[in-house]
Structure 1
């Protein structure tokens, strides 16, 4: 796998993302890496705390995993924060706790105000266990204020992440 990616928003004091923040004590604290083809990936081994059935990772946690890697890819490659407006996750086989997996994301197409992405979760032998696709809508500065409660001074400092238009 390629080079580790430093996520620039990890230094934000109020940032507690379930997927990637190391300051969220119940979160996944995912570390991202570039793939050779320019995508984004993360390696993860889920503990039993993320199980639904014994030894099986909860499907909602798996959906959070693919949402995270796809959303981070958009933020890094397009320089914008975006909300997922659709997320489709196809489970080919259950993920097991205490087993390593790699989630890999790529950007598909852009248009009609959204960015479309895809992700796979692969076993160590490369066999796909999960296939996902999503559409993301850029976050406006007004949405940052309304939905995230971001005060004006934070919105100004982070303005470069908001108010992007997708053709």
Structure 2
């Protein structure tokens, strides 16, 4: 597994709720590439609960939507927007868990429409939530001009173990 380098780190005005490392209210996700998959290991926190000790469904949707976007960044080297997201909540996620693991990969590409599958696993490796995101991708020119996106690379060294 190799860590994906955040292409916007240090960009003035960059404050994404999902992935900006300096957004105090955000979830501060980081991503790794493992073959065809993009992976994120994230620590649930009490401020993101819905019911007592339960991760809010909206936060779960944010995490899934964000990892799907990073699949587009890394695998297709462009940006875009989520146009549809189907989410299935199967098992509650405890905000006291040591970590959760998100995994996502491209299911299908139809010109500039991309279907990305994603799932959240608890620390017992049980699937808790899954999503199918329909993503509308931008041209490379639009990504550069409007999104300040040039490339999404990985760090040179393999990461041995993240958990």
Q: TM-score range by the shorter chain?
A: 0.7 to 0.9
Summarize the alignment of residues 15-94 of structure 1 with structure 2, pairs less than 5 Å apart.
15-35=14-34, 37-94=35-92
Match of 2:161 in 1: none
1:89 & 1:32 partners in 2: Cα distance?
21
CA RMSD of aligned residues (A): 2.3
Match of 1:158 in 2: 148
Structure 1 residues 142 and 102, CA, compared in 2 at 3 Å: closer, same or farther?
Answer: same
Structure 1 residues 55 and 72, CA, compared in 2 at 3 Å: closer, same or farther?
Answer: same
Tell me the secondary structure at the aligned position of residue 9 of structure 1. coil
Quick check: which has more Rg, 1 or 2? 1
Kindly provide the CA deviation profile for residues 27-75 of structure 1, in whole angstroms up to 9, marking residues without a partner as x: 011111112x321011112111001111111100000000001101101
Deviation at 1:9, TM superposition (A): 1.8
Higher relative contact order (CA 8 A, sep 6+): 2
2:81 & 2:146 partners in 1: Cα distance?
19
2:78 & 2:20 partners in 1: Cα distance?
18
Structure 1 residues 157 and 98, CA, compared in 2 at 3 Å: closer, same or farther?
Answer: closer
Match of 1:96 in 2: 94
Match of 1:151 in 2: none
Deviation at 1:125, TM superposition (A): 2.6
Match of 2:128 in 1: 129
TM-score of the superposed pair, with normalisation by structure 2: 0.83
Match of 2:109 in 1: 110
Total equivalences in the alignment: 150
Structure 1 residues 121 and 38, CA, compared in 2 at 3 Å: closer, same or farther?
Answer: same
Structure 1 residues 160 and 121, CA, compared in 2 at 3 Å: closer, same or farther?
Answer: same
Q: Which runs of 5+ in 1 are unaligned?
A: 145-153, 162-167
Task: Choose between structure 1 and 2: higher helix proportion.
Answer: 1
